Amino acid sequence: AQSVAQPEDQVNVAEGNPLTVKCTYSVSGNPYLFWYVQYPNRGLQFLLKYITGDNLVKGSYGFEAEFNKSQTSFHLKKPSALVSDSALYFCAVREQTGANNLFFGTGTRLTVIP
Amino acid sequence: GAGVSQTPSNKVTEKGKYVELRCDPISGHTALYWYRQSLGQGPEFLIYFQGTGAADDSGLPNDRFFAVRPEGSVSTLKIQRTERGDSAVYLCASSPALLHNEQFFGPGTRLTVL
């Protein structure tokens, strides 16, 4: 069975400070991992993905995420937060050889305080 | 280029009625997915098409839900005898065939069953 946990419903960070949004996953095989962002009244937008290779993945809008196999984590990070980063963030996983659909976490609301 | 589009953006119906939700995927994408997102939750998988056929419909909650993709492009999600618990945002996504590709999401249809 596949699952994703986002342990924090809400993350607050001051503008200009680094941010981290946590994600841990569970799959029976090797994972493909994704981060999506959702702005109010808009669809999910793809940020970045881990497929294979380098554990540090860089994505859109200055975001990056680090795949840690031993800790089964894929935390989203950004060195300097912007007010415009405030949104709902979803981590998702699929098995490399399993079902085609994505399994999503429950989301983390990021608020960047000016 | 054009993204995934969904119509209508909002649908209000009465309990027991039939509804159809439409999805226009990105041109050339062979894979199409339907998800349902309830308030405060991440998207939950409903059904996946590869071409014209439903490759995986294991996420459909019951036989009131059905989806088609007759020509391998546009898809329609059909819900019979709607119930109040069906109220949610229904998301459509498409992707190229390869499993590690990210899915591109539409803006969703907000269904409200009174």
pLDDT tens digits for A69-109? Answer: 999 999 999 999 999 999 999 999 998 887 778 999 999 99
Residue B11, number of CB atoms within 10 A of its CB: 19
The answer to whether the beta carbons of residues B91 and B77 sit under 8 Å apart is no
Measured between beta carbons, which residues in chain B are less than 8 angstroms from residue A101? 33, 35, 45, 48, 56, 59
Measured between beta carbons, which residues in chain A are less than 8 angstroms from residue B58? 99
In angstroms, the Cα distances linking B93 to A15, B29, B35 are 32, 10, 8
Give the mutation candidate from A32, A34, A100, A104 for the B interface (greatest B CB count, under 10 A).
Answer: A100
A104 beta partners: A92
At B102, give phi and psi (nearest 5°).
Answer: -70, 155
pLDDT tens digits for B72-92? Answer: 999 999 999 999 999 999 999
Comparing CB atoms, the residue among A46, A96, A101 nearest residue B48 is A101
Interatomic CA distance for residues A15 and A12, integer angstroms = 10
Residue B20, number of CB atoms within 10 A of its CB: 15
Interatomic CA distance for residues A34 and B111, integer angstroms = 27
The answer to whether the beta carbons of residues A88 and A109 sit under 8 Å apart is yes
pLDDT tens digits for B22-54? Answer: 999 999 899 999 999 999 899 999 999 998 988
Rounded to the nearest integer, the mean pLDDT of chain B is: 93
Q: In the block, which residue shows the tokens 């680094």?
A: A18
Give me the amino acid identity at B112.
T
Cβ neighbors of A80 (< 8 A, separation 6 or more) are A16, A17, A18, A62
In angstroms, the Cα distances linking B39 to A54, B90, B100 are 35, 11, 28
- Six token digits for residue B108: 């969703």
B94 beta partners: B32, B104
Instruction: State whether B4 and A43 contact (CB < 8 Å).
Output: yes
pLDDT tens digits for A18-68? Answer: 999 999 999 888 899 999 999 887 789 999 999 988 999 999 999 999 999
